[in-house]
């Protein structure tokens, strides 16, 4: 039987969202890839399902366009939070993911704040293949004596991120370096690769090569990771605007409880039926 879906996006990072609380949804990797295909499919960066969880708290699951299920998606979490709040007529909501329990609230019309929890910062939480100081790991791209990129920071926001700091985002080799680092042996589960230009203590320009999805217009967990990585090195304050290709997110790494709060917009594109 066919199943309804919503096509949504957060800053151009787009999703197919499936309601699965009444009818189980267990797509195969091939089915995920077919849905995500831009040519011949519906087209999306991630597939998302809202399933029944424990104690009436929904379980939200995420699959990348390559068919792999992943633990977290920041922009997708905002979209799901908005849907759940609209459905129940409330202005705050809680739901579970593989990356942990998330809390969200309305921050205005089509604007949502999600508490992404504390960042994971130890090498085995990222995870890395060997112990390193995640403020700046031993990794470089290019000649040993004159590397193009070096000493990136690492953060897990329920999924692994590495963040290179670059002087000019417009000349950063995102498409060339992103897929190489995504599958580097240092990252046994793969990694999302961020390229961050610090423009002010409260302004970061960011592009992200997403694990399993490629270059996207925005990455919510990538924005959280970039702010944390920059603040740990004293490059920015703990709150900043992250300027992505698809628009802006405000990220606040609260000193009071160590949680990362992500605020940004959501949009509905269309609805349809999965074949």
Catalytic residue among 44, 73, 154, 224: 73
Catalytic residue among 44, 79, 154, 219: 219
Q: How far apart are CA 274 and CA 195, in angstroms?
A: 35
Q: Which residue has the tokens 């990455």?
A: 219
**Sequence-distant (≥ 6) Cβ neighbours of residue 3 within 8 angstroms:** 18, 23, 25, 273, 274
User: Are 159 and 72 spatial neighbours (Cβ–Cβ below 8 Å)?
Assistant: yes
Q: Which residue has the tokens 């969202």?
A: 17
Catalytic annotation on 219? yes
In angstroms and rounded to an integer, the radius of gyration of the C-alpha atoms of the chain is 18
For 128-165, the DSSP string reads -SS---TTS-S-EES-TTS-SEE--EEEESSSEEEEEE
Catalytic residue numbers, as ranges: 73, 219
């Amino acid at each position: 039987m066919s199943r309804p879906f919503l096509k949504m996006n957060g800053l151009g990072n787009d999703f197919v969202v499936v309601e699965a609380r009444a009818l189980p949804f267990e797509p195969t990797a091939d089915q995920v890839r077919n849905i995500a295909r831009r040519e011949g499919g519906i087209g999306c960066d991630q597939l998302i399902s809202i399933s029944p969880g424990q104690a009436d708290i929904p379980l939200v699951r995420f699959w990348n366009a390559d068919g792999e299920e992943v633990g977290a998606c920041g922009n997708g979490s905002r979209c799901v939070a908005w849907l759940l709040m609209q459905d129940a007529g409330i202005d705050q909501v809680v739901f579970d993911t593989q990356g942990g329990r998330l809390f969200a609230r309305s921050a205005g019309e089509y604007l949502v704040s999600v508490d992404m929890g504390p960042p994971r910062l130890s090498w085995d939480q990222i995870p890395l293949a060997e112990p390193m100081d995640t403020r700046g790991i031993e990794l470089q791209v290019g000649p040993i004596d004159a590397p193009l990129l070096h000493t990136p920071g690492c953060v897990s926001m329920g999924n692994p991120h590495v963040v290179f700091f670059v002087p000019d985002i417009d000349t950063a080799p995102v498409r060339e370096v992103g897929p190489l680092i995504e599958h580097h042996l240092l990252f046994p589960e793969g990694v999302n690769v961020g390229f961050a230009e610090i423009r002010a203590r409260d302004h970061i320009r960011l592009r992200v090569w997403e694990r399993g999805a490629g270059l996207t217009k925005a990455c919510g967990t990538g924005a959280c990771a970039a702010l944390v990585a920059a603040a740990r090195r004293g490059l920015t304050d703990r709150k900043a605007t992250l300027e992505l290709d698809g628009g802006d997110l405000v990220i606040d790494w609260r000193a009071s409880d160590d949680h990362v709060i992500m605020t940004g917009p959501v949009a509905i594109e269309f609805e349809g039926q999965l074949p």
